[in-house]
């Protein structure tokens, strides 16, 4: 009896595998199909970052649709890879490596959009670089990936074993954003004493570190600098600590997933009404929804969010067009991340076009690197020598009536933010 069930189970598993194998088979064997190029994205699709990555993927798909799914004679195929595992509910180094290797081996693949997490980029970058496959990230903000001297001494050289730069990103880096946030606290909020929190992750701690470094120069005293436990149920004891220091602003380097809303709620219910400033990891509706009406109400104290670009409703030109189309298709205003995905894919498609539409990774790579004065949804920008966007425009936002409201632009279009 038991044997029977076991073998039945095994049969089920095998047939599931076969079914799973089926749909991709024709693409590999069919010779009559039109020539195609593949763009893949590798983002954490399982678990807590799912809503952001969904909007990125929506953006990518829109960019491809705009081109009619074709460039020249080539059909553009898109594969949405997941670099998260269900057990972790977050990106997994093994899966990211597997994704990168799979893309590197696929002869039709000419572009890799990803990753979302900078840590994952560190794994994928050398693999893709060796394969000469261009990588455009819609989400990595760790400066060391591209900027010499910003991270470890051997960064970013180690991510470029082949010697050429094959990694580009359409988002401004943490060092710019952290400084902008600090400047805003000092100049606009008139803060004198800041309590800095971070989630101990690459992104959150990176920004908090920059904030801390910039603070003395802006006349802000650092009342405290603490890494929190992003899985804690509440932060009331920390709030008590913050209250006892008399800080007049709280900066949290973290994301919605690492409990930014919970900190805000505990601050407010603990009677602490100082402004609460967070980076773009919280620039999504989920943050407002997670925090709830009371914590976001103006009488509880103000809330600010920095963002590496302009919010959707402030976009003009192509950006505004994108927002319109997105609204029409999905029935909602796109989240901030959608634009990044859209822009990353658009720049890639543009490069494929300029590379005379060939299945040639080197040509595509060269074309991406040569991107100059690109008229995208995020404005007009170029890739600099490191592979970073020259777009340094930041915005400061707040929350008003349950919606993000633009406060001011900061950072400047081309100037150095520091």
Alpha-carbon distance of 129 to 214, in angstroms, equals 34
Rounded to a whole number of angstroms, the minimum distance from the CB of residue 248 to another protein is: 6
Q: Which is nearer to another protein, 24 or 162 (CB)?
A: 24
Does 316 interact with another protein (rule: CB under 8 A)?
A: yes
Identify the helix (H) or strand (E) that includes residue 303: strand 303-307
- Residue from 272, 305, 336, 352 binding another protein (CB under 8 A): 272
Give whole-number Cα distances, 213 to 104, 154, 156, 218, 264, in Å. Answer: 39, 22, 22, 10, 23
Q: Which is nearer to another protein, 225 or 366 (CB)?
A: 225
338-377: which residues touch another protein (CB under 8 A)? none
Q: Any long-range contacts for 204-207 (C-beta under 8 Å, 24+ apart)?
A: 204/252, 204/253, 204/254, 204/255, 204/258, 204/279, 204/281, 205/253, 206/118, 206/141, 206/142, 206/143, 206/174, 206/175, 206/178, 206/253, 207/141, 207/174, 207/177, 207/178, 207/181, 207/253, 207/279
- Residue from 30, 73, 233, 415 binding another protein (CB under 8 A): 233
Give the three-state DSSP class for 61.
Answer: helix
Does 98 interact with another protein (rule: CB under 8 A)?
A: yes
Q: Which is nearer to another protein, 245 or 357 (CB)?
A: 245
Handedness of CA 161, 166, 170, 176 (dihedral sign): positive
Does 32 interact with another protein (rule: CB under 8 A)?
A: no
Does 201 interact with another protein (rule: CB under 8 A)?
A: yes
Give the three-state DSSP class for 290.
Answer: helix
Alpha-carbon distance of 358 to 395, in angstroms, equals 38
Report the chain's terminal Cα–Cα distance, integer Å: 72
Q: Where are the beta strands (DSSP E) in 47-145?
A: 70-71, 74-82, 84-85, 90-91, 109-113, 134-137
Rounded to a whole number of angstroms, the minimum distance from the CB of residue 289 to another protein is: 4
Q: Which token pair is 4?
A: 């029977």
4-23: which residues touch another protein (CB under 8 A)? 5-6, 9, 13, 16-17, 19-23
- Residue from 87, 385, 415, 416 binding another protein (CB under 8 A): 87
Judged by CB under 8 A, the number of residues near another protein is: 128
Rounded to a whole number of angstroms, the minimum distance from the CB of residue 292 to another protein is: 3
Q: Which is nearer to another protein, 74 or 78 (CB)?
A: 78
Q: Which is nearer to another protein, 351 or 392 (CB)?
A: 392
User: How many residues are recorded in the chain?
Assistant: 418
Rounded to a whole number of angstroms, the minimum distance from the CB of residue 75 to another protein is: 16
Q: Which token pair is 84?
A: 């998260």
Does 229 interact with another protein (rule: CB under 8 A)?
A: yes
Q: Which is nearer to another protein, 223 or 349 (CB)?
A: 223
Residue bearing tokens 């553009």: 76
Rounded to a whole number of angstroms, the minimum distance from the CB of residue 290 to another protein is: 4
Rounded to a whole number of angstroms, the minimum distance from the CB of residue 30 to another protein is: 11
Does 101 interact with another protein (rule: CB under 8 A)?
A: yes
Does 318 interact with another protein (rule: CB under 8 A)?
A: no
The string over 362-371, giving b where at least 16 C-beta atoms fall within 10 Å of a residue's C-beta and e elsewhere, is ebbbebbbeb
- Residue from 11, 372, 405, 414 binding another protein (CB under 8 A): 405
Alpha-carbon distance of 250 to 220, in angstroms, equals 12
Q: Where are the beta strands (DSSP E) in 332-402?
A: 374-376, 379-381, 394-400
Rounded to a whole number of angstroms, the minimum distance from the CB of residue 60 to another protein is: 15
- Per-position x/- string for 37-76, each x denoting binding to another protein as judged by CB under 8 A, each - no binding: --------xxxxxxx--x----------------------
Does 407 interact with another protein (rule: CB under 8 A)?
A: yes
139-198: which residues touch another protein (CB under 8 A)? 142, 144, 151-154, 158, 161, 188-191
């Amino acid at each position: 009896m038991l044997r029977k069930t076991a073998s039945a189970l095994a049969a089920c598993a095998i047939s599931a595998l076969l079914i799973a194998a089926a749909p991709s088979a024709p693409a590999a064997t069919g010779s009559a199909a039109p020539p195609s190029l593949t763009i893949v994205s590798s983002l954490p699709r399982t678990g807590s970052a799912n809503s952001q990555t969904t909007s990125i993927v929506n953006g990518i798909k829109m960019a491809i649709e705009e081109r009619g799914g074709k460039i020249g004679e080539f059909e553009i195929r898109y594969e949405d890879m997941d670099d998260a595992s269900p057990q972790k509910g977050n990106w997994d180094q093994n899966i990211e490596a597997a994704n990168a290797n799979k893309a590197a081996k696929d002869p039709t693949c000419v572009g890799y959009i990803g990753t979302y997490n900078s840590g994952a980029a560190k794994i994928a970058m050398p693999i893709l670089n060796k394969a000469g496959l261009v990588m455009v990230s819609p989400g990595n903000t760790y400066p060391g990936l591209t900027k010499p001297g910003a991270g470890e001494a051997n960064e970013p050289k180690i991510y470029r074993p082949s010697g050429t730069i094959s990694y580009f990103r359409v988002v401004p880096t943490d060092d710019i954003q952290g400084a902008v946030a600090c400047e805003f606290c000092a100049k606009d909020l008139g803060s004198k004493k800041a309590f800095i929190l971070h989630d101990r992750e690459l992104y959150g701690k990176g920004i908090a570190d920059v904030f801390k470094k910039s603070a003395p120069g802006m006349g802000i005293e650092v009342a405290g600098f603490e890494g929190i436990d992003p899985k804690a149920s509440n932060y009331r004891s920390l709030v008590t600590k913050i209250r006892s220091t008399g800080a007049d602003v709280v900066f949290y380097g973290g994301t919605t997933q690492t409990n930014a809303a919970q900190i805000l709620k505990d601050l407010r219910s603990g009677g602490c009404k100082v402004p609460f400033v967070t980076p773009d990891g919280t620039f999504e509706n989920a943050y407002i929804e997670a925090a709830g009406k009371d914590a976001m109400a103006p009488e509880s104290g103000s809330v600010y969010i920095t963002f590496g670009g302009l919010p959707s409703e402030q976009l003009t030109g192509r950006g505004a067009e994108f927002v319109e189309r997105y609204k029409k298709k999905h029935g909602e205003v796109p989240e901030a991340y959608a634009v990044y995905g859209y822009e990353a894919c658009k720049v890639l498609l543009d490069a494929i076009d300029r590379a005379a539409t060939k299945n040639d990774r080197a040509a595509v790579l060269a074309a991406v690197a040569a991107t100059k004065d690109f008229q995208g949804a995020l404005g007009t920008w170029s890739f600099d020598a490191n592979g970073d966007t020259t777009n340094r425009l930041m915005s400061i936002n707040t929350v008003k009536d349950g919606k993000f409201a633009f406060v001011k632009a900061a950072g400047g279009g081309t100037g150095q933010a520091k």
